[in-house]
Structure 1
Amino acid sequence: MKNILLILILLCASTTIYAQNQSQNSLSLDGEWSFIIDSTAQGINKNWHKELPAAATQVKVPHTWNTNDATADYAGLAWYQKKISIPDNWENKTIRIQFEAVYHDATVYVNGQEVGKNLNAGYTPFSFDITDYLKTNQSNTLVVAVDNSYSDKNLPYLKAFDWTNDGGIIRSVALETSGKYTIRYVHVKPELNLRDSTGTVKVEVKLFGKNNKTLNFNFSYKDKQSGKSIATEKIEIEPVNGIYTTNFDLGEISPWHFDAPNLYELETSITAKDEVSDTDLAVFGFKKVEIKGEKLYLNGEAVRLPGIEYMPGSNPKYGIAEPKSYMDSIVRSMKELNVVITRFHWQQDDYMISLMDKYGILVQEELPWWQKPASLTPELVKTAKKQLTDNIESHYNHPSIFSWGISNEINGSTDDTQYRNLRDYVKDLDATRFVTIVSNRIWQKKQDDPMLLGDMATWNEYIGTWHGNDRNELPGKLDTVKRAIGNQPLLITENGLCEPAMTGGDARRIDDMIFHIKEWSSHPWIMGYIYFSLNDYRTQMGEEGFGKYKIRRHGITDISLNRKPSFSVLKQLASPINITKVQRETDTSAAIALEVKASIPSYTLRGYILEYKNSERKLITIELPDLAPGDTYDTILENINPQFQFKVLRPTGFIVAQY
C-alpha cells in the first residue's frame, strides 16, 4: 500500500477528466472505462489494442460483464480502454500499473504497445512497469484485453468449479510511482511471546528488479487504532539473495484476537541521495495459532470455534466486482452471527481480508483447485505455483489468515506427490501458517486420504445429504474419521443444505444445522466448524435460475443478504453465552444468570459487557469479569425496564446474546 496524499488528476474513458482523492505517488484508475465484447476475437486484427471502436460503451471499473443480462453467460474475450494523463511531477519517475485482479487472462497495452500479460490467475494482483511506454504532457491510451473462457490451463479448471465465472477488471486499478528503487513487498514476521505479551518482528523487504546494493531504510512502527508511535529505526541494509532484512523488538504489545483485533502499522521508506525513493505501509498483528494434541490453541488458550463461509460475487447487482461498502456489510453480518472463523475457495480482494483483520475473523484462503482435475499437469502445477506465490506475497501480513489451502475435495488420484510438492512450496513461501488439503472423503479413504499430508485435519461433512444414506450415520462416520486422523483435532470445513438438489427448505436447514452442530460439539477433538454458507450464491453450475440469477440455494441469507430464519438460529448456536435465568425479583429488579458455553463455541470471554436501559430509559452498563468456558455469572438488574430487555456485547460492540 502506497502512502496516500491528495491531488486531483485522472482521465476517464476517452476524454480527460480529473478525479479526486489521489496521492502524489498513487493514482486510482477506478471509474469510467470504455468497454466492448469481442465474441469473434477480431480485436487485434482491427487494432483495438490501439483504440476501441465507436461501438464501445461506458462501464465503471471494477466491473464484470456477467451481471449484464445480454452477456450474463458470456465466456470469452472483451476489451477495456481508458485515457490517462501523467502528472508533470511524475517525470523521471518509475511508473507501474497495479491491477488487484482481472479474471482470468489479461493483456495490457499502453499507446498500442503490449506491456505485459497475466494469464491463468484471475483473483490475484499483478503489476507492470509502464514507464517507457508513457508520454508526458499528453493523453495516453490504456487498453486491457480480458478473457474468461473456460480453460484447462487455469485454476479454477474448465467448468469444474462451483461459483461464478464473472469476467472483467473485477478489482481496483491504480498507477503507482516511485524513484529509482521500487518496493515490491514488505513482509512482517511477528513473533509473540506468550509469557509476557512482548513482540518482536523480522522485516523482509524485496524490490522490483535485481538489486544487490546496500540501501538506507527508515522504519516507523505505530499502533493502528490510536496512531501512537511505538518506535522508529534508521538503518543501512545489505541485501542477501535480493532480500533486505532487519529485526526489531517492540516490547510489550497487544495480541490480535477475534475479540481484540489489535493491529499495528509499519511504514517503510527507502532513501537515496537524501530523497525518498519509495514508501510502503504494512498492517500486521501478533497472534499464535497452534495445534497441540487434540486441541487448537489461539494465543495459548484452547478454543473451539464456530464459523461460516461466504461466497463472493453472488449479488446480481455487483457480481464478483463487489464495492468496498458491500464487503463491509458482509463481514459485519458474519460478526453479527457470532462466527469467528471462515474460509474462501479462491483468493480474495485485499480489502476483504483487511476487514477480517479489523473485525476479527480467522481466515483460510485457498487455491481455487476444486474437485478437478484429479491430477495437475506440469502446466497446471506452474499455474498453481504462480497463484500461490502472488496470493501469499500480497496477503502475507494479514493477521486474520491462519491457513493456506491448496485444494478442496480432489478425488480420483492416488498420487500424493502433487500434494506434497505444493505443500512444501507453500511452506517455503510462508512457514508461519498452516497448509491444508481439504477433504470430503476421509470417512471412505481413511488413512489414505491426502488431507492427512496437511497441517490440519479437515472434513467437508455432508452425511445425510451428499454422502451416506441418513444423517444418523454421522456418529459412526465420526468414529471412523477419528481413527484415521489419530491424536489431532478436526475442523469441519463445510456442512449445509443445498437446494434444489436437496429438498426441505429452510425448516430442514435449521433442523439439520442443530443436529450436526450438536453431534460435533459432543466430540472434544472437533475444534470447530465452518457452516456453508452465509448466502445463496451465484454459480455457473447452479441448478436454479437463469443467466446472472443462476444459483444454488445454500445460504442462511438470500443472494442479496436478506436473512432467513436459519440466520437467527445459527447466531444463537454460535453465541458463546446461554441466558439461563431471567426472573423478576421485585417490582423494579430482575435476577439473571449467564452461562459460558463449553462446547462449540468454547473460549474465554474477556472485556464483555452487559447493557440495559432502566425504567427512565437510561443506558446502564455492567462490565463482566473474565469468564472461562463453563463459568456462570449471576447478577441483579436494578430498576429494570418493564420489558426486561438486555443484551451482552463483545468488546468490539457486536451483540452475542440478547433478551
Structure 2
Amino acid sequence: MLNKTKYIIFTIFLITSQLSFAQQSIRLNGDWEFLKQDLGGIWEAVRPVGLGNPESVPLWQNVNLPHCVNAEDAVDPDVNYYQGPSWYRTQLKIENPYQKGRTILHFEGAGQKTDVYVYTTKVGSHVGGYDEWTVDITDAVAAFQKTEVYQKQFKGKVPVSIRTDNSRDLEMIPSDLSDFNVYGGIYRYLNLVYVPALSVDKMFAKAEVDAQGKLGKLSVKARFYNPAGVNDARVQFKLIDPAGRVVSKGEKRLNNLTADIELWNLEVKKPQLWSTDHPLQYRLQYEVISPTGNYNGEEKIGFRHIEFVEKGPFNLNGKRLLLRGTHRHEDHAGVEAAMTEDMIRTEMQMMKDMGVNFIRLGHYQQSRIVLNLCDSLGILVWEEIPWCRGGLGGDVYKQQARRMLTNMIEQHYNHPSIIIWGLGNENDWPGDFPAFDKEKIRAFMKELNDLSHQMDAARYTAIRRCDFCADIVDVYSPSIWAGWYRGAYTDYKKASEDEFSKVKRFLHVEWGGDSHAMRHSENPDKALSKIKTGGSADERAGDASLYGGAARISKDGDWSESYITNLIDWHLKEQESMPWLSGTAYWPFKDFSTPVRPDNPVPYMNQKGVIERDFTRKEAYYVFQSYWTEKPMAHIYGHTWPVRWGEEGEEKMVKVYSNATEAEIFLNGKSFGSKKRNSQDYPAAGLRWNFPFVKGENTVKVIAKKGKEIATDEIKFNYQIEKWTKPVEMTLTKVDQQGDVATVEIRLFDNKGVQCLDAVNWINFGLTGDGKMIDNQGTSSGSRKVQAYNGRAIIKVRLNKGKSIISGSSEGLKTIFMEL
C-alpha cells in the first residue's frame, strides 16, 4: 500500500480533469526529499545512503508537494532569488490494477526545465513551467522491477528522482526581464495515474449556441493514448444537463485510433446557458470499452455565445456585459508558486465576492484548478502564453512558444469560461538579444495568431502593449496607467477614448498603482500638483524606477492606500459612463513577488494588489465591492489607520464605500446626516462627510440601507493634533500574542516624544534566541526589512515556547532591543 501521507483519489469519473485521465489518480504529495542544488549525476540520488546518514553528502530535506524552490528566497531582502537546478526524490509502490495497463506521471506544472528518472534511467524531459505534461514510466518500472536492487535495496519500491531547473536562459520564455519571478520546483500537483492499455489522451468537446440561445451544438473529438496499437473499441456517451437529467446518449465503434477522431455531433434545443451570474454546466460522460479494460471520463462544458463588437462593447449571450476584471499571478506568502487547492479556491472566491466577472491570467497558462473554478464561479478568462518581454529568440525559443500555445489551447479547450487566447505581453520591450527586429516579431505574432485560430476558431486572440502588432490580433489592450506611470487619474477617460479609436476591438487590461498596506495619508493627492496632465497615460521604459526621470506618481507619490482608493474610485466611476467599453482588468488582484523591484517598501514585491500576499484585504478591495456587487455592503475607509492627524477643530473627510442606496454616518454617537449614493459623485459615490474629530479616541459608525436590507460598519481611531518634526528615536513593544505567536511593533518619535505619523523610514527587525521571525512573506507585516507605514512597522515572531531577543534598527537612529 502507498504511504498514508499520500493523498489518494479514486474516481469513477475524474471530474476535475480536462485531460481526462481516469480511473485512478493519486496525488503524490508526501514522502519527498528535496535538494536545492545540482547533483554530480543521477547515481547520487539513488545510491544507498539516505536522510540522516552522516555520510550522506549533500544533505536532503523533507518536503511535501506542491513545493517551490523559491518558497522564501523570492522575497528575502538580502539575496537574489535562486535560479538553478534542484532535485526531488521519492520511492513509489507501483500497483497498476490493469493487465497491460500504463503507469503515468502527470505533472500539472513544474518549473522550468524538468528531467524525470526511474532509478538511473531517464524517462522524460519537459521545457516550460506552466503547461501540463506526462511521462509514461511503465517500461522503466518493469525493467527495474526485474533487478536485484529492487528487492534488496528498495524493498519492492521504485525510486523516482526529478530534476527541475529555473536557470536563466535567453532562449526560453518567459524572459528574466519579466516583472515576476521565474520559479523553480514541482509547484503544482504531481499525480501517479493508472490507465488501461487504451485510454483517452484528450477529449475535445466544442459547445456552441446562437446569440438568441435557441440552438446549441456539441461536437466531440478524441485523441487516444494507444501505445499497444489497440484497434478494436467502442465508446459510449451521455450528455447530462445542469439539473442532472440525461439529455442524450450515443455510441460509436472505433477501429482506427491513430489520429484525432470525430466521435459525436449533437444538437441541443434551447440549452441552459452558461453566464457569469448563472454558470450552468453540462456534463459529458463517456466510457471507452476495449478488450484491454474500460476507461471512464467526464468533461464539463457550457453553452454560451460571446462577441467583442467591432468598435463597441462585449456581448455575452446576445446582451452587453461590462467585463469587470482583475489579474492573477500564481504567488502566495510562504509558498510562492506552490499554492494548494484550498489556497486557490480561497483566492478565486475572494475575487468573485469582490464582484469580478473577468480575469486575465498573467502571464502564463495556469492550474487546471483555477480554470475549473472560473467555470463554476462564472468568471470569464483571458489566458496567455509566457511570451513576455525581452524580444524574440531563435528557433528553440519560437518552438517553445508554439508548443506552449498548442498545449494551452488543447488542455483548456473545453472550459466555457475562456474567451481569449493571449499571444504575448509587452513584446515591445527589448533587452535579451543584441537585435530588436519589429518585423520579425510581427511575423511570429502573426504565425501564433494563425495557429490559435486554426486550433480554435471560436475564441478571440489578444495581446497587451505592443502597438506595432495591434492590428494582428482580434482584441488589443494598449498601455494606460493614468495617475500612476503617466498623467493624472482624471486623464483616464480621454486616454481610453484615444486608444479605442485606433483599434478594431479595445479591451483595457492593466491599470492601477502600488499601495503599501497600512500606509494612509491625510493629503494623498498632494503629488498630483507636480504631474503633467492631458498627455499620454502609457508606461514607458524606466517609469517603474523609483529614481530619476519626469515627475510621476509611481516615483513621487506617497504609495498610500488613501491615494490608490481615490484612483480606483475615479476609474470605476468613469467606466460606468463609457457605453462603448468592453471592459477592463485591474492589475493585479494580489501583491506578488518580482526580482526587478528590490527598492519597493516591501522589497522585491509588486504592491499593486487589492489584497496582500497572505489574503489580507487592503482598503481598495471594498471600493471595487461598492461598484461591482449586489449583496449590501458598507465599509468606512481606514480600518488599518489607528491614528489620524490634523488641527484641533479641523473638519476631516470620512469616506464610506457602499453599494447601498443611502447611508447615515455617526461620530461618537452623534448623527451627521444621511446621503444618497450617486456613482458619478466623486469620491465615494457621494457617501462622504466632513466633520471635526475630537482629540484622542473617536468612533465612526455607518448604517447603510439598500431596500429593506441594512449594512453597518464601525471603526475606532485616535486623533492627534500635536505636530512632529523628524524621527530621532524608536520604541519596541509587544502589542499582541495569539498562542505561541507574538506581534511586535516599532514606532518612530521626534525629540519631543510625538509620534511621526508620516515617517517612511526603513525598519530592520532582527532576532536571536529560541524564536523565529515570520518573515520573507512579502507582506507589510511579514518582512524583516520594510518601510514604515505612518511611523510604525510590525512583525510576528513564533516564540517556540522559549526566550528570544528582538531588535529594531533604522539608519541614523539608535538600535533598540526587547526580550520576548
For the superposition of Structure 1 and Structure 2, which TM-score range results when normalised by the shorter chain?
0.7 to 0.9
Change (3 A) 1:363 1:52: farther
CA deviations over 1:103-124 (Å, ceiling 9, x no partner): 11110011221101002x1011
Cα shift at 1:342:
0.8
Q: 1:76 aligns with which of 68, 75, 84?
A: 84
The CA distance in 1 between the partners of 2:196 and 2:226, in whole Å, is: 13
Tell me if the contact between 1:97 and 1:128 (Cα under 8 Å) persists in the aligned partners: yes
Structure 2 equivalent of residue 531 of structure 1: 586
Aligned partner of residue 561 in structure 1, secondary structure: coil
Cα shift at 1:533:
1.7
Q: 2:30 aligns with which of 17, 23, 32?
A: 32
Change (3 A) 1:299 1:636: closer
Tell me if the contact between 1:50 and 1:112 (Cα under 8 Å) persists in the aligned partners: no
Structure 2 equivalent of residue 407 of structure 1: 424
- Residue 498 (structure 1) aligned with residue 514 (structure 2): yes
The CA distance in 2 between the partners of 1:166 and 1:250, in whole Å, is: 44
Cα shift at 1:19:
5.7
Aligned partner of residue 390 in structure 1, secondary structure: helix
CA deviations over 1:613-643 (Å, ceiling 9, x no partner): xxxxxxxxxxxxxxxxxxxxx9975xx8xxx
Structure 1 equivalent of residue 265 of structure 2: 247
The CA distance in 2 between the partners of 1:331 and 1:194, in whole Å, is: 28
Tell me if the contact between 2:98 and 2:196 (Cα under 8 Å) persists in the aligned partners: no
Name the amino acid aligned to 2:581.
I
Name the amino acid aligned to 1:336.
D
Q: 1:426 aligns with which of 441, 444, 452?
A: 452
Aligned partner of residue 502 in structure 2, secondary structure: helix
Aligned partner of residue 48 in structure 1, secondary structure: helix
**Superposed counterparts of 1:23-102, under 5 Å:** 25-37=23-35, 39=37, 41-44=38-41, 46-48=43-45, 53-54=50-51, 55-68=59-72, 73-87=81-95, 89-102=97-110
The CA distance in 2 between the partners of 1:463 and 1:110, in whole Å, is: 54
Structure 2 equivalent of residue 609 of structure 1: none
CA deviations over 1:25-66 (Å, ceiling 9, x no partner): 324242224333353x33317532667853221100111121
Cα shift at 1:479:
4.1
Change (3 A) 1:19 1:355: closer
The CA distance in 1 between the partners of 2:572 and 2:480, in whole Å, is: 11
- Residue 392 (structure 1) aligned with residue 396 (structure 2): no
Cα shift at 1:450:
0.8
Change (3 A) 1:463 1:232: same
250-259 or 560-569, which deviates more: 250-259
Name the amino acid aligned to 1:533.
P
Cα shift at 1:85:
1.1
**Superposed counterparts of 1:99-498, under 5 Å:** 99-119=107-127, 121-135=128-142, 138-157=156-175, 159-195=176-212, 197-208=214-225, 213=231, 215-223=233-241, 225-237=242-254, 242-245=259-262, 246-273=264-291, 276-293=293-310, 294-313=312-331, 315-344=332-361, 345-372=363-390, 374-411=391-428, 413-415=437-439, 416-439=442-465, 442=467, 449-466=468-485, 468-485=486-503, 488-498=504-514
Structure 1 equivalent of residue 615 of structure 2: 561
Change (3 A) 1:88 1:75: closer
Cα shift at 1:426:
1.4
Name the amino acid aligned to 1:285.
G
189-198 or 525-534, which deviates more: 189-198
The CA distance in 2 between the partners of 1:477 and 1:594, in whole Å, is: 27
The CA distance in 2 between the partners of 1:111 and 1:45, in whole Å, is: 8
The CA distance in 1 between the partners of 2:333 and 2:579, in whole Å, is: 41
CA deviations over 1:540-562 (Å, ceiling 9, x no partner): 22335799x73111111111121
Gaps of 5+ in 1: 1-8, 443-448, 584-591, 598-633, 648-659
Name the amino acid aligned to 2:389.
Q
Cα shift at 1:400:
0.7
Aligned partner of residue 526 in structure 1, secondary structure: coil
**Superposed counterparts of 1:567-606, under 5 Å:** 567-575=621-629, 579-580=660-661
TM-score normalised per structure 1: 0.79
494-503 or 378-387, which deviates more: 494-503
Tell me if the contact between 1:11 and 1:82 (Cα under 8 Å) persists in the aligned partners: no
Name the amino acid aligned to 1:10.
L
The CA distance in 1 between the partners of 2:231 and 2:493, in whole Å, is: 62
The CA distance in 2 between the partners of 1:183 and 1:544, in whole Å, is: 50
Change (3 A) 1:49 1:495: farther
Change (3 A) 1:309 1:163: same
Cα shift at 1:239:
5.1
Tell me if the contact between 1:108 and 1:142 (Cα under 8 Å) persists in the aligned partners: yes
The size of the alignment, in residue pairs, is 569
Gaps of 5+ in 2: 13-22, 52-58, 146-150, 431-436, 517-545, 547-553, 632-658, 665-674, 681-704, 714-820
The CA distance in 2 between the partners of 1:352 and 1:92, in whole Å, is: 34
Q: 2:570 aligns with which of 499, 515, 519?
A: 515
Change (3 A) 1:594 1:265: farther
The CA distance in 1 between the partners of 2:425 and 2:46, in whole Å, is: 38
Alignment RMSD (CA, Å): 3.2
Tell me if the contact between 2:365 and 2:383 (Cα under 8 Å) persists in the aligned partners: yes
Name the amino acid aligned to 1:290.
E
Tell me if the contact between 1:161 and 1:370 (Cα under 8 Å) persists in the aligned partners: yes
Cα shift at 1:575:
3.6
Larger Rg: 2
CA deviations over 1:238-278 (Å, ceiling 9, x no partner): 659711112122343211100000011112221113x6442
Change (3 A) 1:559 1:456: same
Which protein, 1 or 2, shows the higher relative CO under an 8 Å CA cutoff with sep ≥ 6? Answer: 1
Name the amino acid aligned to 2:109.
A
The CA distance in 2 between the partners of 1:566 and 1:546, in whole Å, is: 18
**How many percent identity over aligned positions?**
21
The CA distance in 2 between the partners of 1:241 and 1:90, in whole Å, is: 22
Name the amino acid aligned to 1:496.
G
